[in-house]
Amino acid sequence: MNNQSWVTLALFSFTYGSCFLTAVENPSLDINLDARPIAAGAQLPVVSYANVLQRATPSVVSVYTASIIEPAQSQIPDFFRQFGIPVPRGFEPATPQPERKEALGVGSGVIVSTDGYIVTNHHVVTGREGAVADEILVRLSDDSEYTARLIGSDRKTDVAVLKLDIDEALPAITLAKSHQLRVGDIVFAIGNPLDVGLTATQGIVSAIGRTSYGILGPGAYENFVQTDASINMGNSGGALVDAWGRLIGINTAIVSRSGGSNGIGFAIPTDLALNVMTKLIESGEVPRGLLGLLPEDLNRDMADAFGLASTRGALVNQVQANSPAARAGIRHGDVITQIDEVEVVSALQMRLVVSQMLPGREVSVVLFRGGHQLKLSVVLGRVDGAMAKSGPAQRLILEGVSIDRMTPSRRQQFSIPEEIEGLVVTDLSLDSPYANVLVPGMVIIEVNGQAMDSLDRLEAVISAGANSFYSWFGGMKRYLAIRIQSR
């Protein structure tokens, strides 16, 4: 995030798509897919895009979310009753109050199939603490309103899928293949900014493959399309369409000093959105492939040291024991340049590519080792599955992190001094959102100022948002700030 205090990130609804993988085409999903790239024609110059927007706008909807607030109940009458004492006058329960609805937010969505599937953002259908909204209302372009059913939601890509169970066919948008986008392509952002009603703004594709902004938080999969088309609060989940009115992304976020649109907006490409959407519809979750290694980008000096002509690729820093990569023979120091037919250009891009492949799939990995090119076959594991071996004492309170109480064997295993007390990080998935701050052998001494003497204590103390961890590792004590997405 560049740690610049003047940068404000406002999340909006916009489907995230990969610029590196072809969209997953699911025959059971009734969608329209146009695989043609935008090309110059022999027609007269276009002076209006009214016909384009007239086709695309009916497919964009407004999304309203609310939570149900239960009335608080007094416990005082029960206190008297449990001791057989009559409830004194004035302590009788008040007239029961009805539950009430509290509005959470306003966003947008896009109809992608005539039978009622709508794609939007995960953050549109959840509250600040990450809990799913109790009620999701969808308003169509003709002002008709329906209650939507949440099919599934994926925080790591900020994609959610809704369903309208109505008899009439809905105006579904046509999807384009977002990996064919080029910088300079004309685009339109359509949504319900600031709840003023459906609005369209024009711009161009400013950049593709934006992966390192950390907008979606730790452990997320980012690969945004950047645009200067104005995106404002409420555009979340709305459509980014090309000059033919085809969906090429879902509006998601901006970088701004003021919180308003300054022409640096981000959208999730349709390729990735369709991949995630298909998995959510089929299984209600997003299974992701796992190699089980920790990669990093190559700089020029490192490429020269390994005898490579280019910095493209991913250098393997660490291979997790008993992981799919380890079983296939991948070693630290290998430089991965291709997975199946996809060229690897960076560590983040490789992680994104693998995440869109299904666990159990056999892939071909091309790599350089000692100046020679090798091709290895790897059967992918499953993200979040590598830690399944954790016993009951090593609960996964933090995603992908095994934590155990302090024992004499743990002290000996990690060379922890007798005076250090707390909980021990015993294992860590390389795909964990916390892999960059926690390591096996680290002792968690305090969390948010509370001493850690049990796993129950840790689970009770941590909360959504930033948490202060006081830790010991390698002979040194230090504070760590760890942000938890939701509880």
The answer to whether residues 282 and 276 touch, using CB atoms and an 8 Å cutoff, is: no
Smallest CA-to-CA distance from 134 within 118, 150, 154 is with 150
Tokens of 172: 């579904």
* 212 belongs to the catalytic site: no
CB atoms within 10 A of CB 468: 13
The answer to whether residues 454 and 437 touch, using CB atoms and an 8 Å cutoff, is: no
Task: Give me the catalytic one of 62, 123, 179, 185.
Answer: 123
Those residues with Cβ within 8 angstroms of residue 443's Cβ, 6 or more apart along the chain or in another chain? 406, 416, 420, 421, 422, 423, 424, 425, 471, 472, 473
* DSSP code of residue 459: H
* 179 belongs to the catalytic site: no
Backbone angles phi, psi at 373, to 5 degrees: -90, 135
| CB burial string 296-331: b at 16+ within 10 A, e below | ebbeeeebeebebeebbbbbbeebbeebbbbebebe
The answer to whether residues 342 and 356 touch, using CB atoms and an 8 Å cutoff, is: no
Tokens of 180: 């064919």
Rounded CA gap, 177 and 269, in Å? 8
Task: Give me the catalytic one of 154, 158, 185, 334.
Answer: 158
Smallest CA-to-CA distance from 251 within 274, 281, 230 is with 230
Task: Give me the catalytic one of 236, 256, 323, 471.
Answer: 236
* 123 belongs to the catalytic site: yes
Q: Which amino acid does the sequence have at 29?
A: L
User: Which residues belong to the active site?
Assistant: 123, 158, 236
